[in-house]
Amino acid sequence: MRINFRANRQITIAINTALIIGHFHPKRNTRMHCLADVAITPIGPIDSIEKALELAKPLLEASGQEYVIHDGGFTIDAEWKDAMTLVGQIHEHLHKSGFVRVHSDMRVGTRTDKAQTMQDKINVVEKKLKQ
């Protein structure tokens, strides 16, 4: 079996370029919006989720993105690239602050049929609960 490294390199470059430029919404030809729910789990000598969120909050505020902090992490309402960049910045900040290992589980939702914010989703649930 022969592997064409040149072709594989081109594929890798294309994938990395797509990640750098940002994902695009297929119907609106704009950057893709997402809701990213991030659960942070510090592992090691400093294993406090509360401390991790305390350190993450200034970065979340400075980003200018909509966010909600919850018991195990936070949810970001932003364009795809901005959300992923912010999660990376938070990881870097936690490591610089003494956290040896940081594990994040992310659930990212996107949709192409309509624009929907985090608050829109909350409003729908609250409306249904009142019925």
Domains, in order of start, for the chain? 25-116 (3.30.70.930)
Cα separation values, 103 from 15, 47, 107, Å: 24, 11, 14
Q: Please give the share of the chain, as a percent, with pLDDT higher than 90.
A: 64
User: Is 3 in a helix, a strand, or coil?
Assistant: coil
In tens, the pLDDT along 72-124 reads 999 999 999 999 999 999 999 999 999 999 999 999 999 888 888 888 888 99
Please name which of 104, 108, 73 lies closest in space to residue 88, comparing C-alpha atoms: 104
Name the band, by pLDDT with cuts 50, 70 and 90, for residue 32.
confident
Count the Cβ atoms, other than its own, within 10 Å of residue 82: 18
User: Which tokens go with 27?
Assistant: 């119907």
List CB contacts of 63: < 8 A, sequence separation 6 or more: 78, 82, 86
pTM above 0.75, yes or no: no
